[in-house]
Amino acid sequence: MGTPRLLLVHAHPDDESLWTGGLTARHVDSGGEADLVMCTWAEGTVRHRELTDAVGILGMPRPPIMLGYADDRRPESAPDTERLCAAPFDDQVRALTKHIRELQPDIVVTYDALGIYGHPDHVHAHRLAVAAVDAAASHKLYHRAGPAWRVRSLYFATIPEWMMDLLAPSLFPEIPREKLPGTPDSDIDLVVDVADLADRKKAAVVAHRSEATRSRAIAGFLALPDEIQDKLLSVECYQRRDLVPGGCELV
């Protein structure tokens, strides 16, 4: 088997750069195919335009696929459209199943079951990706969405405990550490060193200009000392779930 084809499923513009930007850039640089499905924000909005800039920096060969649902906390993200977490789940699974069958990825990458840190849109995107991967492999579901396609492995982006230990004092000083997320090393299946791509990954994050201005978390991250930013941007961590014997190696 040659270089696997990736499909990334994210909830919000900027997540693709923060959590999987290094992996994406390395994969594309090595000649691999990768596509991105973004669950929230509609085409033509400011964050869609910023997302397009960001994926260009990461080297993705095609524009992001926008499902067009509203961000849980930003109704202007998709005017007159339902929130991601409120829309009919079956309709969402059908839509994502169609993309999976058309693109035929070997690997689907999304968030872990906690949505990395518990954001409801992240959790929903995880559930949607898992359900659609299962549906895409079934010959009995969604016949109009194309011929069945079996994804070989799912990879779930997660935040390790050591990374949260670095972030907590500056970004979440009011929250007791034991109440913050963080995955122990023993539960992480893959650690990807992307130190050589940290500057490019940061440029993709910064391309989300409106969010860097609005979001306390993004602004706080960008205000951290350079050496801490570099350490955080240089590593990406994943959990793995194989769907066929042997699965598929991500890197």
Q: Is the dihedral of CA 119, 82, 139, 104 positive or negative?
A: negative
Do strands 190-193 and 235-242 pair parallel, antiparallel, or not at all (unpaired)? antiparallel
**pLDDT-based confidence at 36, cuts 50/70/90?**
very high
Q: What pLDDT sits at residue 4?
A: 97
Q: In three state form, how does the secondary structure of 148-188 look?
A: CCCCCEEEEEECEHHHHHHHHHHHCCCCCHHHCCCECHHHC
Cβ atoms of 242 and 15 within 8 Å: the answer is: no
Backbone angles phi, psi at 127, to 5 degrees: -65, -40
- List Cα–Cα distances, 73 to 83, 85, 122, 244, in angstroms: 9, 11, 13, 37
pLDDT digits (tens, 9 = 90+) for 81-116: 999 999 999 999 999 999 999 999 999 999 999 999
Taking phi over 0 as left and psi of -120 to 50 as alpha, with beta for the rest, 59 belongs to: left
Instruction: Please give the Cα distance from 15 to 123 (Å, whole number).
Output: 13
Rounded Cα–Cα distance for residues 89 and 70 (Å): 14
Greater confidence (72 vs 17) lies with 17
Whether pLDDT at 230 is above 90: yes
Number of domains in the chain: 1
Question: Is residue 222 scored above 70 in pLDDT?
Answer: yes
How far is 68 from 71, CA to CA, in rounded Å?
Answer: 9
Q: Is residue 19 assigned to a domain? A: yes
Residue 1 has pLDDT above 70, yes or no: no
Confidence of residue 51 (pLDDT cuts 50, 70, 90): very high
Average of pLDDT values for 167-188? 92
Average pLDDT over residues 14-32: 97
Instruction: Say yes or no to pLDDT of 171 above 90.
Output: no
Task: Please give the Cα distance from 141 to 35 (Å, whole number).
Answer: 23
- Of 16 and 79, the structure prediction assigns the larger pLDDT to 16
Q: Render the burial of 39-69: b for 16+ CB within 10 Å, e for the rest.
A: bbbbeebebbbbbbebbebbbbeeebbbbbb
Residue 248 within any structural domain of the chain: no
Q: Is the residue at 251 inside a domain?
A: no
CATH number at residue 142: 3.40.50.10320
Residue 250 lies in a domain: no
When pLDDT is averaged across residues 139-167 and rounded to a whole number, the result is 96
Percentage of the residues of the chain whose pLDDT score is greater than 90: 89
Residue 249 in domain? no
Domain extent for 171: 6-242
| 188 inside domain | yes
The Cα 17–Cα 130 span in angstroms is 21
Q: What integer pLDDT is reported at residue 251 of this predicted model?
A: 83
Domain contains 185: yes
Q: What is the mean pLDDT of the chain?
A: 96
pLDDT at 178 over 80: yes
Q: Is residue 162 part of a domain?
A: yes
